[in-house]
Homo-oligomer: A and B are copies of this chain.
Amino acid sequence: MTMLTMLTTEAAAAGSLAGEWGALSSVLVVGTGLIGTSVGLALRARGVAVYLSDRDPAAAALAQDLGAGLVQEPTGEPELVVLAIPPAAVPLVLLGAERLYLQATFTDLASVKSEPQREIEALGCDASRFVGGHPLAGRERSGAGAARADLFEGRPWVLTPSAASNGRAVARAAQLATLCGAQLVTMTPERHDEAVALVSHVPQLMASLTAARLAGADDDLVALAGQGIRDVTRIAASDPGLWTEILGANSPFVRDVLDAVSGDLATLLDALAKSTHRSGDLSGSRPALSAVTELLERGNAGQGRIPGKHGAPPATYTMVPVVVPDSPGELARLLVACGDAGINVEDVSIEHSPGQPVGLVEIAVKPAAAQVLADALRVRGWSVHF
């Protein structure tokens, strides 16, 4: 059983808990930025009554016009109050809201969990009615105008129940995540913060550090920028105020990861300094650069672990490349040939250069099956490049 399966099982337990409390029918969303408005849109699509509030009336009005809910006092107490506000604001807003709604349960959506949880307990909030939450979803655009009902679809949604959190609060927050189409995951607040430092907060800083180099650069240098740096720096367009707060609230874990990056960077700089060109050594070996290769290889390994369809296929499969004519039915004919050869195809990727009469089909199979498949396809006349 993998870690993820365990978490999913816990999530299922949380989901079944929801049964005791009935369907979620009334939610107040506090904060109508990108995330809060997206929650409103997703809940409205499932028929939940959604009330909206924001300290900026124009932002709330836009969210309402987009269909995320109604900007008015809830009719009776909402079952769940969703605090879609920056992390530092969560404890004080929770304190106030708990005094207004004496029965409601509460969750937040902020991207830092342990410091706000400590503060909530220190402030004397009723921690039993609160469960921290964080949907791992976002866009580099902010505000209600960028909201989408499908923002959370298939994304992890972490709940960080404290020892004090009661079952009803956990169930309501779990229902929220499920109604938004997300995958429920439970973690301690500290483990969550360690994870987001690694997969979100430090990548944000790395994007900003890279983009910051362009800020004062000459036009003719910047003109050569292409898709690579565009991808590396896409999230550098994020809101500096919000991110300063997030990074400040998670600074211990962020520093741990950044310290490690800083160590790798020092090693890189040292290796590059030792390898710097001395006339005539161009074609010679450069042993100093082995540290650069090692870093790039670790980058390969780390990149390959990122979940999702965008990375390379899992290393457990072997690719068999076949040049295939770009005519109707050829791909089907190839896959039939694989079946005839008794080979189970795990995945297929197709490369086709525009205008070319042929494409390259890469068939992913179990390593033991690759040579068998290559031979079988060659016998049947296919152009196999294995």
Contacts and interface: CB of A to CB of B under 8 A. Distances in A.
B265 A269 contact: no
A299 B254 CA distance: 18
A66 interface: yes
A330 interface: no
A357 B89 CA distance: 33
A277 interface: yes
B228 A200 contact: yes
A260 interface: yes
A217 B155 CA distance: 20
Q: Which interface class (under 10, 10 to 19, 20 to 34, 35 or more) fits A?
A: 35 or more
A65 B321 CA distance: 12
A376 interface: no
Contact of A251 (B137, B230, B276): B276
Nearest to A90: B282
A62 B261 contact: no
Contacts of A353: 38, 41, 66-67, 147-150
Nearest to A7: B220
How many copies, total?
2
B209 A206 contact: yes
7 contacts: A66-B353, A66-B360, A119-B282, A206-B209, A214-B302, A215-B299, A225-B307
Interface of A: 2-4, 7, 38, 41, 45, 58, 61-62, 65-67, 88-89, 91-92, 115-116, 118-119, 122, 136-138, 145-150, 155-156, 158, 185, 187, 191, 194-196, 198-200, 202-215, 217-226, 228-238, 240-241, 243-244, 247-249, 251-252, 254-255, 257-262, 264-266, 268-269, 272-273, 275-277, 279-280, 282-283, 286, 289, 292-293, 295-308, 310-312, 321, 323, 351, 353-358, 360, 362, 383, 385
